[in-house]
């Protein structure tokens, strides 16, 4: 009997071990899929940020090298200068809300000033029920916020105590559900419940303006207990690309332009960092090997208008300047005489022409970085020499340090190198963390800026802590949000959450599968818009034009075109179904990419591909040229947009092609083009998601 019991127990133990081993392998496979999915989302996001900075650097080059009176410069000059009307008393008059009446039909919240806790609470409830605040109150809140921010220091200092905890939140990115959930779980800001919000309140999500109004409202009521740090998305140029500008203009068609201008001013006055008990530094992005809080404390932060652009004059060869003048001259002038110099590149030979260029916007960007303290030759940042560099005590150090503070990311290796992934700021290692924190007698750096799967993550021997508060950032189930509670012991305690009820009801397998499908759809869109370049790259491995290449060659060619740093050989089975005897049939695969074509007939396929590749750049330029923020541009402005883009890409797009395109999308034939309708007409949709 005892022998039977022993065998029974032994069998049960073996069965339990087998189940445990199976479950661990199952969870490990899911974790691999989750990490791979994460890499896809993050690589595509950072590629977009690189694209944004390259475009903006191109604009900066135009500003530096074209005469002030030139029409090319005037196309974009307004984004580089402060609006002349917004000064002192004129500023107050221009943004005055008193002439705006609130009609009796208005059903939203009515606010009184000075703001009270009751007033902000009403605002929170109204936004929870999707009500819209009247433009008069919006301008009034923003005006009061601007007046308050002007007297705040660059670095806010606050003290902890044993009777109350400080709550620290990371990126919210327009996701109002996350902010409301934080308030539900943690309580509203008050003197007994101080908050630090660490930047990136806006863009991507649909309720960026509501988040700002709530945070500004609490800031006005509790200026000593609510602290707002600036993020890299608190920049009106970034907002052109990532949705906040479009959101404001859509919600406030009459007064949207004034609201945006006032927000532009407010963003430039947001504090840059917060320090708790002289021991914990909170900044949006991070630090670099040149970070000096004493320098940052003295920066005229509102004068450093562009937080990702190195505003330095650069010297370039006379030929390159003349060549660029020739290229961009076509933005506003039609010329019947042939231009001098090398022949212009067309869309069809863009891929090969890039390999033979002596100068490019990338080269210009690298030169700007070297002047900003980056040594591209060795991949290390040079510390500015204060004795020899005339700008080292002027604008160079403040602007570079602000870029580092808002854009940088930590890395596991020692050192400090340019952040080539994002295109701005730097990567800094644990040695830099030790040196900077030690020099300022700090024990912890809390930063945001990077989405983390669990909402938070320690690195650098637990001396750097990333906090991210926008849950489901990439897709439902992609990540948790989190916030920090910190008491007098300065030990961070984390609260995690998922704002989506749908996600909370999913199993782990369902959540990973949902997110994985979304990531693969985004990746297919990237593959689709690079079809021509991919076919050329595959052809390098297929000299006999068989249409067949090996999986390793497929992976190498795909990475050489997309440059996303992804494990393509691992991803191939999920992306490519056309295989023959273990080889990739890339010609058949290209036909299978299930992406919708535009609603319009476009005969020039190269133009169509350019439009898809540069969808975000096009929208950014459209909104820059649309100076009155009407959402409509004329045929001539449409032509200028395409000419500016073609100069940025160093390609040629003829006026006839542009004119035909403009006429085809002028749906009501009134001589103007609706920006939103145009962008929607060429939005890519993965048909496989609906099959």
Q: What is the CATH number of the domain that holds 576?
A: 1.10.238.10
3-class SS of residue 171: strand
Cβ contact 141:115 at 8 Å: yes
Rounded-to-integer distance, Cα 125 and Cα 461, Å: 42
Rounded-to-integer distance, Cα 203 and Cα 244, Å: 5
Residue 322 in any domain: the answer is no
The domain boundary residue, chosen from 566, 597, 628: 597
pLDDT at residue number 6: 60
Rounded-to-integer distance, Cα 195 and Cα 218, Å: 10
- pTM, two decimals, is 0.79
Burial class (CB in 10 A: 0-12, 13-18, 19+), 134: buried
Rounded-to-integer distance, Cα 400 and Cα 385, Å: 14
Rounded-to-integer distance, Cα 180 and Cα 9, Å: 52
Backbone angles phi, psi at 409, to 5 degrees: -135, 150
**What tokens does 535 get?**
């076919």
Q: How do residues 9-37 score in pLDDT, each as one tens digit?
A: 778 888 888 888 888 888 888 888 888 88
End-to-end alpha carbon distance in the chain? 60
Cβ contact 408:426 at 8 Å: yes
| Pairing between β-strand 583-585 and β-strand 548-549 as defined by DSSP bridges | antiparallel
pLDDT higher than 90, residue 639: no
The domain boundary residue, chosen from 466, 497, 528: 497
Residue 84 in any domain: the answer is no
Read off the CATH number of the domain in which 232 is found: 3.60.21.10
Residue 529 in any domain: the answer is yes
Residue 322 contacts by C-beta under 8 Å, 6 or more apart in sequence?
341
Cβ contact 463:434 at 8 Å: yes
b vs e for 405-438, b when ≥16 Cβ sit within 10 Å of the residue's Cβ?
Answer: bbbbbbbeeebbbbbbbbbbbbbbbbebbeebbe
202 and 124, same structural domain?
yes
3-class SS of residue 293: helix
162 and 55, same structural domain?
no
- What residues are paired with 549 via a beta bridge? 584
Rounded-to-integer distance, Cα 77 and Cα 447, Å: 33
654 and 542, same structural domain?
no
Q: Concatenated DSSP letters for 525-560?
A: HHHHHTHHHHHHHHHHT-TT--SEE-HHHHHHHHHH
pLDDT at residue number 456: 97
Residue 502 in any domain: the answer is no
Domains in the chain: how many in total?
3
Q: How do residues 479-525 score in pLDDT, each as one tens digit?
A: 999 999 999 999 999 999 998 776 666 777 787 888 888 889 889 88
Beta strands per DSSP E along 255-394: 273-276, 280-283, 374-375, 380-381
Rounded-to-integer distance, Cα 524 and Cα 615, Å: 15
Rounded-to-integer distance, Cα 237 and Cα 245, Å: 9
Backbone angles phi, psi at 161, to 5 degrees: -150, 170
pLDDT at residue number 522: 87
532 and 492, same structural domain?
no
Among 65, 134, 233, 530, the active-site one is 233
Q: How do residues 266-321 score in pLDDT, each as one tens digit?
A: 999 999 999 999 999 999 999 999 999 999 999 889 887 556 544 333 333 333 33
Residue 391 in any domain: the answer is no
pLDDT higher than 70, residue 125: yes
609 and 592, same structural domain?
no
Burial class (CB in 10 A: 0-12, 13-18, 19+), 130: exposed
Q: Residue 347 — very low, low, confident or very high, per pLDDT cuts 50/70/90?
A: very low
The domain boundary residue, chosen from 597, 623, 642: 597
Q: 660: domain range?
A: 605-689
294 and 222, same structural domain?
yes
The mean per-residue pLDDT over the stretch 377-398 comes to 44
pLDDT at residue number 641: 78
Residue 390 in any domain: the answer is no
The reply to whether 233 belongs to the active site is yes
- What is the 8-class DSSP label of residue 68? T
No. of helices (H) and no. of strands (E), the chain: 27, 21
527 and 472, same structural domain?
no
Q: How do residues 297-306 score in pLDDT, each as one tens digit?
A: 998 898 875 5
Mean pLDDT of all residues belonging to the chain: 80
pLDDT higher than 70, residue 83: no
Q: Tokens 């890519």 map to which residue?
A: 684
pLDDT at residue number 632: 81
541 and 616, same structural domain?
no
- What is the 8-class DSSP label of residue 340? P
659 and 677, same structural domain?
yes
């Amino acid at each position: 009997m005892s022998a039977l019991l022993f065998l029974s127990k032994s069998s049960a133990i073996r069965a339990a071990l087998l189940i445990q081993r199976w479950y661990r392998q199952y969870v490990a496979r899911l974790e691999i899929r989750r990490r791979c999915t994460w890499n896809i989302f993050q690589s595509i996001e950072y590629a977009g940020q690189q694209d944004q900075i390259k475009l903006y650097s191109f604009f900066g080059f135009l500003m530096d090298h074209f005469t002030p009176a030139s029409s090319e410069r005037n196309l974009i000059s307004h984004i580089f200068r402060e609006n002349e009307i917004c000064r002192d008393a004129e500023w107050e008059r221009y943004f005055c809300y008193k002439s705006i009446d609130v009609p009796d039909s208005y059903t939203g919240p009515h606010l009184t000033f000075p703001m009270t806790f009751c007033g902000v609470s009403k605002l929170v409830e109204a936004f929870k029920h999707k009500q819209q605040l009247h433009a008069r109150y919006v301008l009034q809140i923003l005006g009061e916020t601007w007046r308050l921010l002007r007297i705040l220091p660059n670095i806010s200092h606050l003290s902890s105590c044993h009777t109350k905890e400080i709550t620290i939140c990371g990126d919210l990115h327009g996701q109002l559900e996350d902010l409301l959930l934080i308030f539900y779980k943690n309580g509203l800001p008050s003197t007994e419940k101080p908050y630090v919000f660490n930047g990136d309140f806006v863009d991507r999500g649909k309720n960026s303006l509501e988040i700002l109004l709530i945070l500004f409202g609490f800031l006005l009521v509790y200026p000593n207990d609510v602290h707002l740090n600036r993020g890299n998305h608190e920049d009106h140029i970034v907002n052109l690309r990532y949705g906040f500008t479009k959101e404001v203009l859509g919600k406030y068609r009459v007064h949207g332009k004034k609201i945006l201008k006032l927000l532009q001013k407010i963003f430039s006055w947001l504090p840059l960092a917060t320090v708790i008990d002289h021991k914990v530094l909170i900044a949006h992005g991070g630090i670099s090997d040149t970070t000096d809080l004493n320098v940052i404390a003295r920066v005229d932060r509102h004068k450093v208008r562009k937080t990702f652009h190195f505003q330095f004059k650069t010297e370039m060869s006379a030929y390159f300047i003349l060549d660029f003048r020739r290229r961009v001259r076509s933005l506003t002038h039609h010329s019947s005489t042939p231009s001098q110099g090398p022949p212009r590149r067309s869309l069809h030979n863009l891929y090969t022409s890039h390999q033979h260029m002596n100068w490019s916007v990338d080269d210009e960007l690298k030169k700007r970085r070297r002047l900003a303290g980056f040594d591209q030759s060795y991949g290390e940042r040079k510390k500015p020499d204060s004795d020899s560099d005339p700008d080292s005590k002027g604008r160079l150090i403040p602007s570079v340090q602000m870029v580092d503070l808002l854009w940088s990311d930590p890395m596991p290796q020692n050192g400090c190198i340019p952040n080539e992934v994002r295109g701005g700021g730097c990567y800094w290692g644990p040695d830099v963390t030790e040196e900077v924190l030690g020099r300022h007698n700090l024990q912890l750096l809390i930063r945001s800026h990077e989405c983390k799967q669990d909402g938070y993550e320690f690195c650098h021997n637990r001396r750097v802590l990333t906090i991210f508060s926008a849950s489901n950032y990439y897709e439902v189930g992609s990540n948790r949000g989190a916030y920090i509670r910190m008491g007098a012991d300065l030990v961070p305690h984390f609260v995690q959450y998922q704002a989506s009820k749908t996600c909370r009801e999913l199993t782990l397998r369902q959540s990973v599968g949902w997110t994985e499908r979304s990531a693969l759809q985004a990746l297919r869109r990237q593959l689709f818009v690079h079809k021509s370049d991919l076919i050329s790259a595959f052809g390098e491995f297929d000299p006999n034009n068989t249409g067949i290449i090996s999986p390793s060659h497929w992976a190498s060619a795909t990475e050489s075109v997309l440059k996303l740093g992804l494990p393509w050989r691992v991803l191939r089975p999920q992306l490519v179904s056309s295989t023959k005897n273990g080889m990739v049939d890339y010609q058949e695969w290209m036909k299978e990419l299930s992406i919708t074509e535009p609603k319009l007939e476009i005969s020039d396929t190269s133009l169509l591909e350019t439009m898809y590749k540069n969808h975000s750049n096009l929208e950014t330029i459209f909104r820059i040229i649309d100076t009155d923020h009407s959402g409509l541009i004329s045929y001539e402005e449409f032509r200028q947009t395409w000419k500016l883009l073609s100069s940025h890409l160093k390609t040629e797009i003829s006026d006839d092609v542009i004119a035909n395109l403009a006429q085809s999308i002028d749906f009501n034939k009134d001589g103007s083009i609706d920006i939103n309708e145009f962008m929607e007409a060429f939005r890519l949709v993965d048909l496989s998601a609906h099959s």
